């Protein structure tokens, strides 16, 4: 198999890589670029643990080929904090104990970031529907919803 | 395996027609990548159609809309004019998968994947949608219901690609609706589904109707007899009863872990009835 050369932008930085034509973007991020925030839960688009934002759309990176990222803009959980300063969503997830094992957390953070970017003042129902593509087997979701509600308040005030 | 991203539909068709081994079209990838990962398909050539001009757009045409093959379902939901004209098609497309999947999945992919349970297909059939097929011998436009021929199979010939889905402009006092049954509240595959499109006269009498049932046969069912049961009548109880009975009778469902034959038959009638009521109300009928 010939490699595919890809130039893309990840969290604002220009990035170039070679990948196999059938290689999921998730594997490129994790295994070639060392961005291990996105997790492989199911690998089939059901769990949302590998969520990223691709050109302002929330997607599962397991359902995108690395080759497709040419010329596009990728946001991952690694781009959320600024140095030591956590993103309000990250801060509120900590304060509300909205995580236990943590495998689903990067996907929830990115999905919540996308949700609040498009709807800064969501109702609880909108949050629950908006995050329905992310599965968590630890928290029972309530704490995640509270953390997102609280982060929305902080972000509106900012 | 090779990955290519042609910039014209002619190039894509040429590559597809000329490929010696199995080739796959990639738009949203939400079916293709899952099937590749599971080892169900092993394409030698992946043709990504998202670089082709116009395929990622919804265009207003002289008589309605043209939805490009690479338009993600999320974009359908964000198009106010489309939502207003075809609320049933949009609500069906919006039911496919999670928000993450919505950002990628397409109605053409849903159609060509040829699952009997595809959510957008009964709505498109009820809406009288047409598919623009481009192939080595040129372009043709066919009714959406003629695309799937069996689970996982389509009527497309080698080298053919569906470039767009065409929807007409709705006649006055017309509306569509789509409903499905799933055992959860969302993110599941239809056990049975129904799409209905109605046109009324000023008195609220149905003058045109199309009724489609999904997940109840190897392919989507366009139930013409059900439409005839509604035409010339208001949506009274007797008309609804007949509609439900005809739809239940038209089903050729399977028994599986998600529903029995008996259950699917009954629910097909119930959903057709409810979708008809919603379409009727949307069209301004009282």
Chain B neighbors of A126, CB-CB under 8 A: none
Query: Whose CA is closest to B129, among B76, B206, B50?
Result: B76
Chains A–B, number of C-beta pairs less than 8 Å apart: 85
Secondary structure (3-state) at A83: coil
ipTM summary value: 0.95
On whether any CB of chain A is under 8 Å from the CB of B72, the answer is yes
On whether any CB of chain A is under 8 Å from the CB of B143, the answer is no
Residue A28 has pLDDT above 90, yes or no: yes
Q: For residues B209 and B110, is the Cβ–Cβ distance under 8 A?
A: no
Which contiguous run of DSSP H or E holds residue A62? none
Round to whole Å and give the CA distance between B190 and B42.
Answer: 27
Nearest chain B residue to A24, by CA:
B33
SS (H, E, C) chain B: CEEECCCCHHHHHHHHHHCCCCEEEECCCCCHHHHHHCCCCCCCEEEEHHHCCCCCCEEEECCEEEEECCCEHHHHHCCHHHHHHCHHHHHHHHCCCCHHHHCCCEHHHHHHHCCCCCCHHHHHHHCCCEEEEEECCEEEEEEHHHCEEECCEECCCCCCEEEEEEEECCCCCEEEEEEEECCCCCCCCCCEEEEEEEEECCCCCEEEEEEEEECCCCCCEECHHHHHHHCCCCCCHHHHHHHHHHHHHHCCCCCECCECHHHHHHHHHHHHHHHHHHHHHHCCCC
| Complete domains list, chain B, with CATH | 2-49+58-168 (3.30.465.10), 191-282 (3.30.390.50)
Chain B neighbors of A111, CB-CB under 8 A: 99-100
Per-residue pLDDT of chain B (286 residues; tens, 9 = 90+): 999 999 999 999 999 999 999 999 999 999 999 999 999 999 999 999 999 999 999 999 999 999 999 999 999 999 999 999 999 999 999 999 999 999 999 999 999 999 999 999 999 999 999 999 999 999 999 999 999 999 999 999 999 999 999 999 999 999 999 999 998 877 888 999 999 999 999 999 999 999 999 999 999 999 999 999 999 999 999 999 999 999 999 999 999 988 999 999 999 999 999 999 999 999 999 8
- Predicted structure pTM score: 0.96
CB-based contact A21 B2, cutoff 8 Å = yes
Q: Please tell me the predicted confidence (pLDDT) of residue A77.
A: 98
| Complete domains list, chain A, with CATH | 4-79 (3.10.20.30), 88-157 (1.10.150.120)
CB-based contact B103 A59, cutoff 8 Å = yes
Q: For residues A156 and A150, is the Cβ–Cβ distance under 8 A?
A: no
Token couple for B48: 């990504």
Chain B neighbors of A135, CB-CB under 8 A: none
To the nearest whole angstrom, how far is the Cα of A68 from the nearest Cα of chain B?
8
Comparing CB atoms, the residue among B36, B38, B100 nearest residue A58 is: B100
B232 φ/ψ sector (left φ>0, alpha ψ -120 to 50, else beta): left
Mutation target for B interface from A17, A69, A133, A136: give the one with most B CBs within 10 A: A133
Residues 6+ positions from B140 with CB-CB distance below 8 Å: B132, B133
What Rg do the C-alpha atoms of chain B give, in angstroms?
A: 19
Which DSSP symbol is given to A99? -
CA dihedral A16, A21, A22, A27 (to 10 degrees): -20
Q: For residues B116 and B99, is the Cβ–Cβ distance under 8 A?
A: no
On whether any CB of chain A is under 8 Å from the CB of B184, the answer is no
Residues A57-83 have a mean pLDDT of 97
The contact set of A with B (CB < 8 A) is 1-2, 4, 20-22, 24, 43-45, 48, 51, 54, 57-60, 62-65, 67-68, 70, 111, 114, 129-130, 132-134
CB-based contact A67 B48, cutoff 8 Å = yes
Query: Whose CA is closest to B247, among B211, B282, B220, B283?
Result: B211
Residues 6+ positions from B268 with CB-CB distance below 8 Å: B192, B194, B213, B216, B247, B248, B250, B251, B253
Residues 6+ positions from A91 with CB-CB distance below 8 Å: A151, A154
Residues 6+ positions from B104 with CB-CB distance below 8 Å: A57, A59, A60, A63, A64, B28, B29, B30, B72
Tell me: the pLDDT tens digits for A141-154? Answer: 999 999 999 999 99
CB-based contact A129 B36, cutoff 8 Å = no
Token couple for B149: 């021929």
Mutation target for B interface from A7, A49, A59: give the one with most B CBs within 10 A: A59
On whether any CB of chain A is under 8 Å from the CB of B109, the answer is no
Q: Please tell me the predicted confidence (pLDDT) of residue A1.
A: 56
Chain A neighbors of B1, CB-CB under 8 A: 1, 20-22
Contacts 24+ apart (CB under 8 A), B209-212: B209/B276, B210/B125, B210/B126, B210/B127, B210/B128, B211/B126, B211/B243, B211/B247, B211/B272, B211/B276, B212/B121, B212/B122, B212/B123, B212/B125, B212/B126, B212/B145
Contacts 24+ apart (CB under 8 A), A119-122: A120/A152, A120/A155, A120/A156, A121/A152, A121/A156, A122/A148, A122/A152
Within its chain, how far is the Cα of A65 from the centroid?
16
Please provide the average confidence, as pLDDT, over all residues in chain A: 96
Which DSSP symbol is given to A88? H
């Amino acid at each position: 198999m010939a490699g595919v050369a890809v130039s893309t932008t990840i969290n604002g930085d220009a990035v170039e890589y070679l990948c196999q034509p059938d290689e999921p973007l998730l594997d490129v991020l994790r295994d070639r670029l060392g961005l291990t925030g996105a997790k492989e839960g199911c690998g089939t688009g059901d769990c949302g643990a590998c969520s990223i934002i691709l050109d302002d759309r929330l997607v599962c990176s397991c359902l995108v080929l690395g080759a497709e990222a040419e010329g596009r803009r990728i946001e991952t959980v690694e781009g959320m904090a600024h140095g030591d300063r956590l993103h309000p969503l990250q801060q509120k997830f900590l304060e509300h104990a909205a995580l236990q094992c943590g495998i689903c957390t990067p996907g929830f953070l990115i999905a919540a970031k996308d949700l609040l970017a498009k709807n800064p003042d969501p109702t609880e129902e909108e949050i629950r529907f908006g995050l329905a593509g992310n599965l968590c087997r630890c928290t029972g979701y309530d704490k995640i919803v509270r953390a997102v509600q609280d982060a929305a308040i902080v972000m509106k005030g900012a | 395996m090779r990955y290519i991203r042609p910039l014209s539909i002619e190039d894509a068709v040429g590559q597809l027609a000329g490929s010696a081994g199995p080739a796959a079209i990639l738009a949203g990838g939400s079916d293709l990548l899952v099937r590749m990962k599971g080892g169900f398909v092993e394409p030698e050539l992946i043709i990504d159609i998202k670089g082709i001009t116009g395929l990622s757009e919804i265009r207003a045409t002289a008589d309605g809309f043209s939805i490009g093959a690479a338009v993600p379902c999320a974009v359908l939901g964000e198009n106010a004019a489309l939502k207003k004209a075809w609320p049933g098609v949009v609500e069906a497309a919006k039911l496919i998968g999670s928000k993450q999947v919505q950002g990628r999945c397409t109605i053409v992919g849903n159609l060509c994947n040829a699952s009997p349970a595809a959510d957008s297909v009964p709505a498109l059939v009820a809406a009288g949608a047409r598919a623009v097929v481009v192939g080595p011998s040129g372009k043709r436009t066919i009714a959406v219901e003629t695309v799937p021929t069996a689970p996982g199979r389509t009527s497309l010939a080698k080298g053919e690609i569906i470039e767009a889905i065409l929807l007409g402009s709705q006649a006055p006092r017309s509306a569509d609706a789509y409903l499905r049954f799933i055992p959860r509240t969302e993110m599941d595959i239809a056990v049975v589904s129904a799409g209905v499109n109605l046109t009324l006269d000023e008195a609220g009498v149905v003058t045109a109707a199309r009724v489609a049932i999904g997940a109840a046969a190897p392919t989507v069912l366009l139930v013409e007899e059900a439409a005839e049961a509604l035409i010339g009548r208001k949506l009274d109880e007797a008309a609804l009863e007949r509609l439900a009975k005809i739809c239940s009778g038209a089903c050729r469902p399977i028994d599986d872990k998600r529903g029995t034959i008996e259950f699917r038959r009954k629910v097909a009638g119930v959903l057709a009835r409810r979708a008809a009521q919603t379409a009727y109300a949307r069209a301004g009928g009282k």
